[in-house]
């Protein structure tokens, strides 16, 4: 039997474990909160050149802060606004009734004050369809010298600051949303022409029902889901009871502590969660012109709390 006299092969030192890559979804953003629990300004982010990780971080921040403001997005134009929206979510057509800004951009809804495009009533965008938008991306194109601010109110904070008995009542209610109150004029002017929303041809606006309290599909938080722009009444109660209840919800929602206000500069972009906010475009600029371009992101059917 022959024994080997060779020295044993050296054992390699264990390699230091390489640090795990940071999750892309958690890429930090420079966020400046605008209140204790609602609204944030995003600094140093160019939407036209944002990385995928930055877009995902914005998407996460939106559910938490509900409305995000990104100043100085001067490189965005109609093409790149739509392109950013497609990275952020599924972009819808401009509006169920109103066509897009032009044939090349059917996704962009132009709010031009010279053509009656203003929204000086508290509302949540397009709640009069079965699947209201997840959110909206609004870009300031032309602004008056002064005025034209937009305000947002936090529907989740509004619900959470109601008394417990009123919360329990709201949890059980259903509201009717009707687009003809604001957009019946456009229907009358279409002369038989049709528009498309999420692949469905809109010949008329049929009222739909949504729960008065909506459970956010991402965070699970409850929020009021009624607005003066499109909610016509609460189902299953008398007209007087409906008016009193809606007046209560509206007055409570728009208390100053539930509201943030943005003073626009050309190139600013606001992104808001349509499932947890209402907004109001201040119409205080007389005959000066104000033009905003908005795209909306496909949402889901609102779900209410389980009441047992």
- Would you please indicate which residues are annotated as catalytic (active-site) residues? 123, 125, 279, 294
Cβ partners under 8 Å of residue 132, min gap 6: 124, 125, 126, 210, 274, 275, 299, 302
Residue 93's alpha-carbon distances to 3, 86, 107, in angstroms, are 82, 12, 4
For residue 137, give Cα distances in angstroms to 19, 46, 62, 273: 37, 14, 11, 9
Sign, CA dihedral 102-106-109-115, equals positive
> Token pair of 304, please?
């209410």
Phi first, then psi, for residue 94 (nearest 5°) are: -60, -40
Distance CA 151, CA 123 (A): 11
CA count, 13 A, side-chain hemisphere, 166: 14
The closest alpha carbon to 296, from 72, 81, 121, belongs to 81
- The enclosing H or E element of 251 equals helix 239-253
Per-residue tokens: 72: 């100085």
Q: State how far the Cα of 40 lies from the Cα of 229, in Å rounded to an integer.
A: 25
Three-class SS state of 56: helix
Residue 215's contacts (CB-CB under 8 Å, 6 or more residues apart) are 221, 222, 303, 304, 305
3-state SS class at 290: coil
């Amino acid at each position: 039997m022959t024994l080997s006299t060779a020295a044993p092969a050296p054992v390699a030192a264990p390699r230091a474990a390489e640090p795990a890559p940071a999750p892309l979804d958690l890429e930090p953003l420079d966020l400046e909160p605008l209140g204790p629990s609602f609204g944030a300004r995003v600094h140093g982010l160019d939407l036209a050149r944002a990385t995928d990780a930055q877009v995902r971080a914005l998407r996460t921040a939106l559910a938490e802060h509900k409305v995000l403001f990104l100043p100085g997005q001067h490189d965005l134009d109609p093409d790149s606004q739509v392109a950013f929206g497609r990275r952020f979510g599924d972009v819808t057509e401009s509006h169920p009734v109103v066509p897009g800004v032009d044939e090349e951009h059917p996704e962009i809804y132009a709010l031009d004050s010279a053509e009656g495009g203003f929204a000086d009533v508290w509302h949540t965008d397009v709640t009069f369809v079965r699947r209201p938008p997840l959110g909206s991306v609004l870009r300031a194109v032309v602004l008056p010298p002064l005025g034209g601010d937009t305000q947002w109110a936090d529907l989740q904070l509004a619900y959470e600051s109601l008394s417990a008995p009123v919360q329990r009542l709201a949890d059980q209610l259903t509201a009717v949303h009707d687009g003809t109150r604001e957009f019946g004029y456009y229907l009358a002017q279409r002369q038989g022409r049709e528009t498309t929303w999420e692949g469905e041809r809109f010949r008329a606006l049929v009222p739909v029902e949504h729960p008065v309290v909506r459970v956010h599909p991402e965070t699970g938080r409850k929020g009021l889901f009624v607005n003066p722009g499109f909610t016509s009444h609460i189902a299953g109660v008398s007209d007087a009871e409906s008016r009193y209840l809606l007046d209560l919800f509206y007055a409570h929602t728009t208390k100053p502590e539930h509201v943030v206000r943005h003073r626009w500069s050309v190139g600013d972009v606001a992104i808001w969660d349509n499932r947890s906010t209402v907004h109001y475009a201040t119409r205080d600029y007389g005959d000066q012109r104000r033009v905003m371009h908005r795209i909306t992101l496909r949402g889901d059917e609102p779900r209410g709390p389980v009441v047992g």
